[in-house]
């Protein structure tokens, strides 16, 4: 049975974000509708599969669609590109249970244009009682809703040279550090592709906020899409040029020195900025280990993780870049770095790979 329900629980307001919930479970649809309504969202419609959602799109004009992956008649993977073709400005969050297969499908959806993904507990009982699921759902939608509103004019500050360590004009980066969150998987892939063969010259270390199940799959996805070897490292792994190291979900990835050589350090310490892995941990260690020979970039993501670590890198003389607001899904992390005056450049996504390449080759020093 297919179901479309129009929902209007409060008088509509242009200030509230319009949401459509697409899930084949009537219990999950009702639960999410109640949660979002209590948090001042307008749930304008619910649908039991992708086909029904597509037919209802023009009528209800949602700003955000919560799209389950596994549904009869038309699943989320098939519905996603059709929904975005109809309303390109709309944000779609794909929702799936946390399995390896669904992690692979979710990453595919991100490459097809989904703004974010959300892992839900297996079974309706777990979904209805999981406070983590509810909190993550509300947080993601709040951030996407805020990012969709007309932003205030923000002029990034120039790099705060008052705390810069002296950097030699001949210094070449010995590692590339990347931090990202919401919208990051697609952005990271584009940056790596933009580096081309130059990536073989240095190791690349990436902190992408993801659940543990996803990071290993993300590494495999990057390898397949870019032809560059990517992996989740083990604790104590030596750095190797031409290898992309992805921080494992649920563990911090940092750096230390062993017998004069930099190695990867993994630990299960407390979350930093509510994140584990945290960009700040990697950046802080890199400032200590590499001094002025690290090169870092902060890509799209919610929150401010990476700002304090970027400050450490700038003080050590290293270069920090940030993605611009126009090309970010969420200009939280890069915006925080830019507003703090820690970014050497604030760049659109499609130019970041080229600029990084120039720093690595010495064309820009």
Catalytic residues: 181, 209, 305
Instruction: Please tell me the distance from the alpha carbon of residue 241 to that of residue 253, in angstroms, as a whole number.
Output: 17
Beta bridge partners of 246: 206
Full DSSP string of 175-232: EEEEEE-TTHHHHHHHHHHHHGGGGGGS-EEEEE---HHHHHHHHHHHHHHHSSEEEP
Instruction: Please tell me the distance from the alpha carbon of residue 328 to that of residue 11, in angstroms, as a whole number.
Output: 32
The answer to whether 221 touches 188, Cβ cutoff 8 Å, is: no
List b or e across 307-346, with b for residues whose CB sees 16 or more CB atoms inside 10 angstroms: bbbbbbbbbbbbbbbbbbbebbbbbbbbbbbbbbbbbbbb
The answer to whether 269 touches 230, Cβ cutoff 8 Å, is: no
Residues in CB range of 360: below 8 A, 6 or more apart: 172, 173, 176, 195, 198, 201, 202, 295
- Name the phi and psi angles at 312, rounded to 5: -65, -40
Q: How many CB atoms lie within 10 A of CB 251?
A: 18
Instruction: Please tell me the distance from the alpha carbon of residue 207 to that of residue 265, in angstroms, as a whole number.
Output: 13
């Amino acid at each position: 049975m297919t179901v479309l329900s129009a929902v209007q629980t409060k008088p509509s307001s242009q200030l509230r974000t319009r949401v459509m919930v697409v899930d084949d479970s009537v219990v999950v649809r009702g639960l999410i509708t109640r949660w979002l309504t209590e948090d001042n969202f307008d749930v304008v419609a619910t649908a039991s599969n992708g086909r029904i959602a597509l037919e209802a799109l023009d009528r209800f004009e949602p700003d955000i669609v919560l799209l389950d992956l596994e549904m009869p008649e038309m699943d989320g993977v098939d519905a996603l590109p059709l929904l975005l073709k109809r309303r390109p400005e709309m944000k779609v969050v794909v929702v799936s249970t946390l399995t390896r297969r669904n992690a692979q499908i979710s990453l595919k959806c991100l490459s097809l244009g989904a703004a974010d993904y959300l892992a839900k507990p297996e079974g309706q009982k777990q979904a209805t009682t999981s406070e983590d699921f509810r909190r993550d759902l509300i947080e993601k939608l709040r951030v996407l809703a805020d990012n969709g509103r007309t932003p205030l004019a923000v002029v990034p500050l120039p790099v705060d040279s008052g705390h810069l360590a002296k950097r030699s004009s001949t210094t070449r980066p010995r590692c590339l550090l990347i931090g990202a969150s919401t919208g990051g998987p697609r952005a990271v892939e584009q940056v790596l592709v933009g580096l081309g063969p130059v990536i073989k010259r240095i190791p690349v270390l990436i902190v992408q906020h993801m659940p543990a199940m996803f990071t290993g799959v993300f590494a495999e996805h990057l390898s397949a899409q870019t032809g560059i070897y990517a992996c989740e490292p083990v604790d104590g792994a030596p750095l190797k040029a031409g290898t992309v190291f992805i921080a494992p979900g649920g563990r911090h990835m940092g750096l230390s020195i062993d017998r004069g050589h930099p190695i990867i350090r993994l630990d299960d310490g407390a979350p930093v900025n509510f994140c584990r892995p945290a960009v700040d941990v990697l950046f802080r260690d890199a400032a200590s280990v590499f001094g002025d020979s690290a090169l870092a970039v902060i890509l799209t993501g919610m929150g401010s993780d990476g700002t304090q670590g970027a400050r450490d890198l700038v003080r050590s003389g290293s270069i920090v870049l940030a993605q611009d607001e126009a090309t970010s899904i969420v200009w939280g992390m890069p915006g925080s770095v830019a507003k703090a005056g820690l970014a050497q450049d604030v760049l659109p996504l499609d130019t970041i790979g080229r600029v990084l390449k120039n720093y690595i080759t010495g064309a820009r020093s």
